Amino acid sequence: MDEVIIVGAGIGGLTLGLALHQAGIACRIFESTLEIRQVGVGINLLPHATKELAALGLEAELAKVAITTADATFFNRFGQLIYQEPLGRAAGYQHPQFSIHRGDLQKVLLDAFCARAGADRIVTGRHCVAVAQDGDGVTATFTGPGGTDRFIARGRVAIACDGINSAVRKQFFPDEGEPRYSGVNMWRGVTRWRPMLSGASMVRAGWLSHGKMVIYPIRPAAADGLQLVNWVAEIETPTYRKRDWNRAGSLDDFIGAFADWHFDWLDVPAFIRAADSVLEFPMVDQDPLPRWSFGRVTLLGDAAHPMVPRGSNGAGQAILDARALTNALLAHDDPAAALSAYQQQRLEATTRIVLTNRTNPPDAILREVFLRTQDKPFRAIDDVISREELIGLSDSYKRIAGYSKEALRS
């Protein structure tokens, strides 16, 4: 077959499938789960990602189920405002920033792919265990549920979109080891709550050593006036367990860090306790790889460049990968040359982001204020840090991550 084999029906795999179909390139997606369910919690789609999704004709559908994010707002753990800036179209971008439930995003992508390419182009219950290649194409080997049966698929190229625990990545880098723990554990949840601040704010508060919160709504208000609000509690700790999207977390393990967070606009402990459910997993990434492409096989998204979620950028980079890979396949008749060109365009850019997320992501603003105040309330933020410095910290990350307004105009 002359199809592109896509391993994994997550955000990257489905976006790639849609982009390839739009370009007239046949593909088939193989997903390890028997049923593609709406798992996970909230994610953000920055303007460089929504630009690509708009090009796939998805902006209107996303806007129906997402929050069009209006501002980023930073507080210390005493509830004092540090910095606020507009986001997305409110900041003058041509495309919005969306805050969305990961399951809602995946459903929009999945429904669009099935409607356009055909539901038969997604095969579930197929876990990739190996890829091989020859001069004519690739052979991907899959197991069925329980790992018993084996299935073979032939294609033009194989693209691994199978996440941070990618079996394909492990095949090419067998000695890499487990994901790298950042020293920060996360508890995530969603709470049905009345709109806070602008009703479309992305809030970061506190700092990692004493407890940090990220809070933002991910679904519009229901008939009862309540939004579905995503939150992440982050605390530095040497203790963690292997990442698992579905592991239940315990409130008792972390809520003590936020017990006195009673702000004018939010009672944080009450908000956390009202969560529908709590999930726990460590903040992990992997050291950047020297290469992703091996002849007719390459990596995409978290399989290529897993990053700690401190820049709201993981899903967005997978979406950018999908566009770059599609363009490379269109530009090069030789599949290996196409995958090499894709790697050349994307590897260095994502390496910078992986490393920056470790050291100076957008929440570096919180770190600077924490260090300068020695974790004490301030009289006025201008006494601690100038607005020019705050803008500089924010704009620096935008440039590195590829979504400065200048970059998106080009």
Q: What is the tens place of the pLDDT at every residue in 222-275?
A: 999 999 999 999 999 887 776 665 678 889 999 999 999 999 999 999 999 999
Six-digit token pair at 158? 């194989």
Please check whether residue 226 lies inside any domain of the structure. Answer: no
Q: Grade residue 76 by pLDDT with cuts at 50, 70 and 90.
A: very high
CB 381 within 8 A of CB 82: yes
Reported as a pLDDT band with limits 50, 70 and 90, residue 108 is very high
Question: Are 5 and 105 a contacting pair, CB within 8 Å?
Answer: no
Contacts of residue 9, defined as CB under 8 A and 6 or more positions apart, other chains included, come to 29, 30, 31, 36, 106, 110, 122, 124, 161
- Does 280 fall in a domain? no
Q: What is the DSSP letter of 89?
A: G
* Per-residue pLDDT tens digits for 26-54: 999 999 887 777 666 899 999 999 999 99
What was the pLDDT predicted at 344?
97
Instruction: Give the pair of three-digit tokens for residue 233.
Output: 């509690």
In a domain, 294, yes or no: yes
Q: Are 130 and 152 in contact (CB under 8 A)?
A: no
109 close to 21: Cβ distance less than 8 angstroms: no
53 falls within a domain: yes
What is the per-residue pLDDT across 284-338, written as a single tens digit (0 to 9) for each? 999 999 999 999 999 999 999 999 888 778 899 999 999 999 999 999 999 999 9
Identify which has the larger pLDDT, 370 or 360: 370
Q: Is residue 364 part of a domain?
A: no
β-strand pairing of 127-133 with 211-219: unpaired
The per-residue pLDDT for 164 is 87
Band of residue 403 on the pLDDT scale cut at 50, 70, 90: confident
Structural contact between residues 205 and 262, judged by C-beta atoms closer than 8 angstroms: no
For the chain, what is the radius of gyration of the CA atoms? Answer: 21
Report the percent of the chain where pLDDT is more than 90: 78
pTM, entire model: 0.94
Q: What is the mean pLDDT of residues 170-176?
A: 95
110-119, 167-176, 340-349, 361-370 — which is least confidently predicted?
A: 361-370
> Residue 324 has which token pair?
């770059």
Beta bridge partners of 236: 184
* pLDDT value at residue 310: 80
Tokens of 344: 């050349």
Give the CATH number, domain containing residue 311: 3.50.50.60
How far, in Å, CA of 189 to CA of 277, rounded? 6
**Overall number of domains in the chain:** 1
Quote the domain boundaries for residue 47. 4-66+102-178+288-359
pLDDT at 112 over 90: yes
Q: Which tokens in the block code for residue 367?
A: 């770190």
First to last CA, the chain: 37
- The rounded distance, in Å, linking the Cα atoms of 14 and 102 is 13
The answer to whether position 339 is within a domain reads: yes
Q: Within a domain: residue 375?
A: no
Confidence of residue 1 (pLDDT cuts 50, 70, 90): low
Supply the pLDDT for residue 243.
60
Average pLDDT over residues 193-208: 96
Q: How many CB atoms lie within 10 A of CB 90?
A: 16
Q: Count CB atoms within 10 A of the CB of residue 362.
A: 24
Cβ atoms within 10 A of the Cβ of 199, count? Answer: 13
Average pLDDT, rounded, for the chain: 93
Answer yes or no: is 96 within a domain: no
Q: Are 304 and 221 in contact (CB under 8 A)?
A: no
Looking at residue 304, its pLDDT comes to 97
